[in-house]
Amino acid sequence: MLLAIDAGNTNIVFAVFDGEQVKGEWRASTHTDRTADELGVWLMQLLTTAGMRREDITSAIIASVVPAMVFSLKTLCRRYFACDPVVVGDEGVQLGIQVLLDRPEEVGADRLVNAVAAHMCYQGPLIVIDFGTATTFDVVDAEGNYCGGAIAPGINLSLEALHMAAAKLPRVAIGRPKQVIGKATVPAMQSGIFWGYVGLIEGLVRRIEEEAGAKMLVVATGGLAPLFAEATPVIGKLDPDLTLRGLLEIHRRNKRLEA
């Protein structure tokens, strides 16, 4: 079995694959001061609850946008599962795609993993929107090459900034308001955030397509993707497991190269 680890700015996702099947998936808050042993004890308990043993896991892959977490995650894999993990972004790790940027080393590992998975599943050309701490728009051409994209503040980040900067504005829950014209402060904030974000999505997709000169399939992933996929027709596919499938595919590609 394969342990796939996707370490984001807010959460770390751990998933166990048995072939194509996900046998278990768990989330932990991202805290850079957590040790490998803290994560290991927590993960061992979850594996036991799911009816798995540590011996069942024979390989691992890590994608992290938090450099400070990589050492602990590598140590976790080596100490608890006796395997040396593949780390996306490390020298020698092959993605099977070209990164057509001036400084490819600056691209977040999660964005490249999403590009691999999106091309494998949907061909192209594509726009992948990942609703995370930041909302990223990534362009993948028909050959599967990563062409760049755009980064916007995530919706939770935007809400927090609004609350922090304006003394009279409370924290509000994210949701789709029934009306655009809010009749009180909270509905007005919900409308501005939600429909403003829909406008951001539609506007950036339109501009990307105009600049690229091609109509593109838009694939949405990340925690809030279902909320926005229902609100705008520009999102063509909803794929919550895109990053995990990308990790599985990258691991396979590198194992084939080793063989």
Which of the residues are catalytic? Answer: 110
Given 3-state DSSP classes, what are the helix, strand and coil percentages for the chain, each rounded to the nearest 5? 40, 25, 35
**φ/ψ (deg, to 5) at 156:** -65, -40
Cis peptide before 85 (omega within 30 of 0): no
Distance CA 175, CA 203 (A): 20
Distance CA 31, CA 23 (A): 25
Distance CA 142, CA 124 (A): 4
Distance CA 132, CA 129 (A): 9
Q: In this structure, what token pair is assigned to residue 220? A: 């949405």
> What is the separation of C-alpha 174 from the centre of its chain, rounded to a whole number of angstroms?
19
Which amino acid is it at 41?
Answer: V
**φ/ψ (deg, to 5) at 222:** 100, 165
Q: How far apart are the first and last CA of the chain?
A: 18
Angle ∠(132,179,173) on CA atoms, nearest 5: 35
- Give the chain's radius of gyration (CA, Å): 19
- Cβ-based neighbours of 4, under 8 Å, separated by 6 or more: 13, 14, 15, 16, 17, 60, 61, 244, 247, 248, 251
Scan for tokens 């991202």, then name that residue: 30
